[in-house]
Chain A
Amino acid sequence: MNGKKGKIWEENVIIETITRLMVPFIQIYALYVMVGTEGAGGGFQGGVVFAASIVLFTVTFGISKGRKRLPESWNAALNSLGLYLYAGVGLLCIVLSLGAAQYLNYAALPLSQIMSPAHTRALMISDVVEVGIGLTVMSIFASIFFDLAWKGEGKKNKDKNKGDKEVQE
Chain B
Amino acid sequence: MILSVVEQFPVLVIVVSLLSAFTILIAGWLNKKSCWVISFATILVQLVMAVFILHHVLTVGTIHYWLGGWSPPWGIEYVVDALNAYILVIVLSLALICVTYSKRSIAHELPQKIVSFYTLYQLLVTGLCGVTVTGDIFNMYVFIEIFSLSAYALIASRGKIALKASFTYLVLGSIGACFFLLGIGFLYSVTGSLNMHDLSLILPPLYENKVVQAAFVFFVVGLSIKMALFPLHTWLPDAHSFAPSEISAMLSGIIIEVSTYALIRVSFSVYTVAFIKLLPIFDFLCWVAAFGIIIGSVLAIAQYNLKRMLAYSSVSQMGYIMLAVGLSTSTHSALWGGLTPALMHILNHALMKGCLFLVAGAFIYKAELWNITDFQGLGRKMPYTCAAFMLAAISMIGVPPSVGFVSKVYIILACLESGKFIFVAVMLLSSLLNLVYFWRVIETMYMKRGEGEERSHSHSSSSKIDEIPLSMLIPVLTLAGLCIIMGVVWLTEIPLPILDQVNALFGLGRYAIP
Residues on A lying within 8 angstroms of B by beta carbon are 73, 76-77, 79-80, 83-84, 87-88, 90-91, 94, 99-108, 164-165, 167-169
Chain B interface, DSSP helix/strand/loop, else mixed? helix
Once A76-B25, A164-B112 are accepted as A-B contacts, the answer to whether A103 and B8 lie under 8 Å apart by CB is yes
Alpha-carbon gap, A73 to B111, bound state (A): 19
CB distance from A75 to the nearest CB of B (A): 10
Once A102-B67, A103-B68, A107-B69 are accepted as A-B contacts, the answer to whether A168 and B113 lie under 8 Å apart by CB is yes
Once A83-B18, A83-B19, A169-B159 are accepted as A-B contacts, the answer to whether A103 and B11 lie under 8 Å apart by CB is yes
Residue among A77, A80, A100, A105 facing the most chain B CB atoms (10 A cut-off): A80
B3 with A87: CB separation less than 8 A: no
Quick check: is B65 within 8 A (CB to CB) of the other chain? yes
Residues of chain B lying within 8 A (CB to CB) of residue A94: 8, 12
CB distance from A117 to the nearest CB of B (A): 10
Which residues of B from 1 to 46 have beta carbons under 8 Å from A?
2-5, 8, 11-12, 15, 18-19, 22-23, 25-26, 29
CB distance from B260 to the nearest CB of A (A): 28
A79 with B22: CB separation less than 8 A: yes
| Residue among B4, B22, B29, B111 making CB contact with A84, cutoff 8 Å | B22
A102 with B22: CB separation less than 8 A: no
Question: Which are the 7 A-B pairs with shortest beta-carbon distances?
Answer: A104-B68, A105-B69, A80-B22, A103-B11, A168-B159, A83-B22, A169-B159
Further 11 A-B residue pairs, CB within 8 A, beyond A79-B25, A102-B68, A104-B67: A76-B29, A80-B25, A83-B18, A84-B22, A99-B5, A100-B3, A102-B67, A102-B69, A167-B111, A167-B112, A168-B113
A87 with B15: CB separation less than 8 A: yes
Residues of chain B lying within 8 A (CB to CB) of residue A76: 25-26, 29
Quick check: is B365 within 8 A (CB to CB) of the other chain? no
B3 with A103: CB separation less than 8 A: no
Residues of chain A lying within 8 A (CB to CB) of residue B464: none
CB distance from B267 to the nearest CB of A (A): 29
Quick check: is B505 within 8 A (CB to CB) of the other chain? no
Quick check: is B485 within 8 A (CB to CB) of the other chain? no
Closest residue of chain A to B26 (Cβ to Cβ) is A80
A84 with B113: CB separation less than 8 A: no
Residues of chain B lying within 8 A (CB to CB) of residue A168: 110, 112-113, 158-159
Once A168-B110, A169-B159, A169-B160 are accepted as A-B contacts, the answer to whether A102 and B11 lie under 8 Å apart by CB is yes
Residue among A73, A103, A168 facing the most chain B CB atoms (10 A cut-off): A103
CB distance from A87 to the nearest CB of B (A): 5
Quick check: is B188 within 8 A (CB to CB) of the other chain? no
Alpha-carbon gap, A87 to B127, bound state (A): 15
Alpha-carbon gap, A125 to B29, bound state (A): 31
28 contacts between A and B (CB under 8 A): A73-B29, A79-B22, A80-B22, A83-B19, A84-B22, A87-B18, A88-B19, A91-B15, A94-B12, A99-B4, A99-B5, A101-B69, A102-B8, A102-B11, A102-B66, A102-B67, A102-B68, A102-B69, A103-B12, A103-B65, A103-B67, A105-B68, A165-B159, A165-B160, A167-B111, A167-B112, A168-B110, A168-B112
Alpha-carbon gap, A81 to B3, bound state (A): 29
Residues of chain A lying within 8 A (CB to CB) of residue B8: 94, 99, 102-103
CB distance from A138 to the nearest CB of B (A): 15
CB distance from B180 to the nearest CB of A (A): 22
CB distance from B69 to the nearest CB of A (A): 4
Residues of chain A lying within 8 A (CB to CB) of residue B22: 79-80, 83-84
Closest residue of chain B to A165 (Cβ to Cβ) is B159
B18 with A102: CB separation less than 8 A: no
| Residue among B29, B65, B110 making CB contact with A102, cutoff 8 Å | B65
Residues of chain A lying within 8 A (CB to CB) of residue B158: 168
CB distance from B29 to the nearest CB of A (A): 6
Residues of chain B lying within 8 A (CB to CB) of residue A99: 3-5, 8
CB distance from B24 to the nearest CB of A (A): 9
Residues of chain B lying within 8 A (CB to CB) of residue A108: 69
CB distance from A127 to the nearest CB of B (A): 16
Alpha-carbon gap, A169 to B111, bound state (A): 10
Residues of chain A lying within 8 A (CB to CB) of residue B11: 102-103
CB distance from B475 to the nearest CB of A (A): 24
Alpha-carbon gap, A105 to B158, bound state (A): 42
CB distance from A31 to the nearest CB of B (A): 23
CB distance from B276 to the nearest CB of A (A): 33
CB distance from B308 to the nearest CB of A (A): 20
Residues of chain A lying within 8 A (CB to CB) of residue B69: 101-102, 104-105, 107-108
A90 with B159: CB separation less than 8 A: no
Residues of chain A lying within 8 A (CB to CB) of residue B26: 76-77, 80
Closest residue of chain B to A125 (Cβ to Cβ) is B68
CB distance from A36 to the nearest CB of B (A): 23
B19 with A87: CB separation less than 8 A: yes
Once A102-B69, A104-B67 are accepted as A-B contacts, the answer to whether A90 and B5 lie under 8 Å apart by CB is no
Which residues of B from 30 to 89 have beta carbons under 8 Å from A?
65-69
| Residue among A80, A102, A167 making CB contact with B23, cutoff 8 Å | A80
Residue among A73, A87, A88 facing the most chain B CB atoms (10 A cut-off): A87
